[in-house]
Structure 1
Amino acid sequence: MSTDFQQAREALGVRLRELRLTAPGGRLTGPQLARRLAWPHSKIYKLENGRQTATSQDLRAWADAVDQPAAFDELEGRLKGFESHIRSWRRQLAAGHRPVQDSWNLEVSRTRIIRAWEEAVVPGMLQTADYARAIFLRYADLHRSARDTDEAVRSRMQRQGWLYETGRRFHALVWEAALHALVCSPPVLAAQLDRLAGTIGMDTVELGIVPLGASLKIPAANAFWIMDDRLVITEDWHAELWLDDADTVASYARVWHTLQESAVYGVDAQKVIHRARQALNMR
C-alpha cells in the first residue's frame, strides 16, 4: 500500500475521531458509537487508526450517528481524493471487467505516448482476443467477480485501434518470461507469439524484449504503464494504482529506462520470440 494512500487514510481517521469527540450531544466513546451504529467496536478502532478503508456508506452512517450529517460531504470528498489513486479490485470488479476496460480506453484515448513494462503477460495493447479472454477468466476466478468476459475482450480489442492512429507511440518492454507463461492453452499462446512478432516493424510500436539471460541493473518486478509523463498505472493483487504526482511519475520513468538498457529490439527481439515459439512446440 502506498505511503500517500496510508497517510490519507490515517488523516481521514483523525477527522472521524474529531467528529466523535465533538458530537453536539456530548463526546462519544468508541463503544458508545459502535452501539449506535450496530458495528463491532473493532471497526471504530480500525477506521480511526487508518487500518481499514471506509466506504461512502460508512461515512454517512458515522456523520449521522455523531449528529453531524453536514460533515458527510467533507468526509466523502476526502475518501474520493485518495480512492481515485487506489482502486480496489473488489470495488472495480463488482460489475465485471468491462467497466475497468472502458476506463482504460478513455485514459488511453487521451494519451499520445505510452511506455509499458510487463514482466508476466503480453501487454494488453498487443494481445489477441483469445489470449485476453484467458486472462480475464483467470482473474474472474481469482477475484470471484462477474463473468462479462466477452464484453471485456471486445473493449480491450477496441482499445487496440489506438495503435493505428497517426501520432501515437507505444513503447513496450516485455520480460521473456511472459512469452513462456502458460496462462492460456498452448495453441492460444502460439497464436499470441505470432501476433507479437508481427508488431515488430509497426511505425507506432517499439517492442523491446528483456531476455531471461540479460544482465539486469534492477529486479524485473511490477508491471506498469506511463501515460505521457503525467500518469502511471500499476497494480497489485488487491488494487490498481493510478499515480499522478510528478516525483512518482519521474521515478517510474527512471525504472523504465533502466529496464530498457537490458532489452533487445528488431531482429534480436524476433529471435527471442522465435525461441519461445520453438520451446512451446516441444512441449
Structure 2
Amino acid sequence: MPPGITPYDGTTLPDNNTADATNVHAARTALGRRLRDLRQSSGSSGREFAESLGWAPSKVSKLENGKQTPSDDDLRAWVLASGHASELDALLASLHTLELQFAEWRHLMRAGLRPQQEQLYEWDQRTRLLRVFEATVVPGLLQTGEYARARFEESVRRLKIVNDADEAVAARLRRQEILYRPGKQFHFVLTEAALRFRLCSIDAMLGQLDRLAAVSHLRNVRVGIIATETEYTVSPWHGFWMYDDRRVVLETFSAELDLRQPQEIELYSETFEQLAGVASYGRGARQIIGRVMNDLAAESDVPSD
C-alpha cells in the first residue's frame, strides 16, 4: 500500500457520536475521503480520474465529498481505476452497512416496542452462537417478566413512544424459548454491578437473580459474572451482542449501532474473550449471585421508618 494510505476500517464516527442522521452523513463523508485517498494515490486529478471512468467530473466530486452515495459498480470501477482492487471488499462492506449502521431509537420504536422484539426473534433464530456482554443490565433473553416490564416502561418514558409494554414483555418471554433449542449456544458475561443496579423493585430483582442462577445450569448456556473486586484486562465500556461472526449490536441512549465490518467483529470478539476470561462460571458465578441476593434480602427485611 502506498505511503500515507491507511486501510479503511469503516469505523470512523463523528465526535459527538449521537448515532442519528448526522452520523450517517459523517460515515458517508468518511467513505468519500477514503475514495479521494485512493484516487490521489494513483496520481490522477479529479477530472483525469473522471475521464478514465467515462464519468462527469461532478460525480467524482460528489462521491469524494459525501454528497452522493456510491453504488456497488461505482466502487468496483473506482478501485480498478485507482489500482487498489484489494480495497473493494472493505469498501463494499462499508457501503452496505452505511444506512443500517445507525438507527435512531425513536425511528425503530415508532410502531411500539413489540415489533422490535419480533425482529430480534428473527435474528435469534438464525444465530447458532450468541455472545453477550452487559455491564449495567441483565440481558433480555435472561430477564423475568417483571424485570423486562421495568426496562420497557423506562423506554416508553425516555423515548415518549407508544406504550405496548404488555405485548413487548410477552414477545420477550417468547424469545426466551430459544434457550432450550438444540443446536444453539449462548455465552453471557455480566458484571456484578449489573446485578446490583436498582432498575426495579428489590422483590423483582430477587426474582431476577433467582432466574439467572437457574439458567446458569443449562448445558448450552454459559453465564459468567465478573465480581466487583476483579481486575479487568479490558475496560467494560458498554454492553454488546454478537450474532455468530456476522453482526455486533450495541445500544446508546438515542440509537442502536449495528456493526458488520470484519475488523469490527474481530475487535469485539477479542474484547469479549478478554471479558469472559476474568469472569466466574458455574458454582463461582452462583456464589456471586447468591451474595447479591443475600444483600438485597437483608435490605428488604429492614423496617422502614
TM range, normalised to the smaller chain? Answer: 0.7 to 0.9
* CA spacing shift, 1:12–1:171, aligned 2, 3 Å: closer
Aligned residue among 1, 4, 12 for 1:3: 12
Q: Percent identity?
A: 37
Aligned residue among 182, 188, 199 for 2:198: 182
1:219-267 CA-to-partner distances (Å, cap 9, x unmatched) read: 1221001111111011111110111111110100011001112100111
Q: Conserved in 1, the CA contact under 8 Å of 2:12 and 2:30?
A: no
Local SS of the residue matching 2:117: helix
Gaps of 5+ in 1: 15-48, 51-77
Name the residue aligned to 1:268: 284
Name the residue aligned to 2:253: 237
Report the CA distance between 1:7 and its aligned residue.
3.9
TM-score by length of 2: 0.69
- Give the letter aligned to residue 157 of structure 1: L
- Give the letter aligned to residue 105 of structure 1: Y
Matched, 1:202 2:202: no
- Give the letter aligned to residue 10 of structure 1: T
1:31-76 CA-to-partner distances (Å, cap 9, x unmatched) read: xxxxxxxxxxxxxxxxxx98xxxxxxxxxxxxxxxxxxxxxxxxxx
Aligned residue among 102, 118, 122 for 1:86: 102
Local SS of the residue matching 2:110: helix
1:179-198 CA-to-partner distances (Å, cap 9, x unmatched) read: 11111111100000000010
Gaps of 5+ in 2: 1-10, 14-23, 34-64, 67-93, 300-305
Matched, 1:224 2:240: yes
Name the residue aligned to 1:34: none
- Give the letter aligned to residue 140 of structure 2: G
Report the aligned-residue RMSD.
2.4
Report the CA distance between 1:9 and its aligned residue.
3.9
1:1-283 alignment runs, 5 A limit = 3=12, 5=24, 7-10=26-29, 82-283=98-299
Name the residue aligned to 2:78: none
Report the CA distance between 1:6 and its aligned residue.
5.0
* CA spacing shift, 1:160–1:12, aligned 2, 3 Å: same
- For residues 168 and 285 of structure 2, what CA distance do their matches in structure 1 show? 29
- For residues 285 and 32 of structure 2, what CA distance do their matches in structure 1 show? 50
- Give the letter aligned to residue 172 of structure 1: F
Report the CA distance between 1:171 and its aligned residue.
0.3
* CA spacing shift, 1:129–1:94, aligned 2, 3 Å: same
1:154-194 CA-to-partner distances (Å, cap 9, x unmatched) read: 11111111111101011000000011111111110000000
Report the CA distance between 1:140 and its aligned residue.
1.1
* CA spacing shift, 1:278–1:161, aligned 2, 3 Å: same
TM-score by length of 1: 0.74
* CA spacing shift, 1:250–1:282, aligned 2, 3 Å: same
- Give the letter aligned to residue 212 of structure 1: T
1:189-210 CA-to-partner distances (Å, cap 9, x unmatched) read: 0000000010122012000000
Local SS of the residue matching 2:284: helix
* CA spacing shift, 1:79–1:238, aligned 2, 3 Å: farther
- Give the letter aligned to residue 276 of structure 2: Q
Report the CA distance between 1:84 and its aligned residue.
1.3
